[in-house]
Amino acid sequence: HSAKGLEFRTVFLPGWEEGLFPHQRSLDESGNAGLEEERRLAYVGLTRARERARIFFAANRRVHNLWQSALPSRFIDELPPENIEVRTDQGLYGGGFQEGPSSFDRDYGTPGWQRMQSAVKAGRYQPAGNNRWRQHGHGQVINAQAELVTTNDPAATRFKVGERIFHQKFGYGTIAAADGNKLDVEFEKAG
């Protein structure tokens, strides 16, 4: 690079989902060093923007011809709250916003998710479908930007020690330990 930042007025950063960014292979093969390299790449992408960086993630993604639910990248939760503007398409994560607590609220009680809920209640929420791109006759843009990572509260986990589970890659296994959003699983075939 001849320049080290502020190269573009707006930078678009798609694919900020756990397992994709940071990529699961980086975490599996390099551990913390891999995570730090992925974090460095996030920083490089963000610092190319002079005015605005647009971060996108999908609630569901088709991988190897199978639909998979996705969680937003942990890197989103590391961004300063005062620099975050939340936009989401209604219907993302099961039907849009509703009054009262839901299991989604319990599982995703991070400051970013709470900030988005506050924006909705205060009338500062702007659905992504009502934007200039659509007003100029282009197709619908699904634009979701938020901090939605699972909480580390062990009481909030959906999984229990001793529970039998199925993993697409490793097959059946039994949960040996649960710590917040991290599980130790003894798989029958993978060890």
What is the C-alpha separation between 24 and 74, in angstroms, rounded?
Answer: 12
Are the CB atoms for 134 and 71 separated by under 8 Å? no
- For residue 44, the model assigns a pLDDT of 92
DSSP bridge partners of 164:
174
Provide the residue ranges of all domains of the chain, joining segments of one domain with +.
8-153, 154-191
Strands 171-179 and 182-187: antiparallel
Nearest to 108 by CA among 146, 82, 57: 146
- For residue 116, the model assigns a pLDDT of 58
- pLDDT band of residue 118 (cuts 50, 70, 90) is low
* pLDDT tens readout for residues 3-61: 567 789 999 999 999 999 999 999 999 999 999 999 999 999 999 998 899 999 888 88
The token pair at 43 is 């920083």
* pLDDT tens readout for residues 138-156: 333 333 344 334 344 444 4
Residue 167: CB atoms within 10 Å: 12
Q: What are phi and psi of 156, to 5 degrees?
A: -90, -10
What is the C-alpha separation between 180 and 114, in angstroms, rounded?
Answer: 19
| Per CATH, domain 8-153 is 3.30.160.800 | yes
Residue 22: is the preceding peptide bond cis (ω within 30°)? yes
The model carries a pTM of 0.49
| 17 or 118: which leads in pLDDT | 17
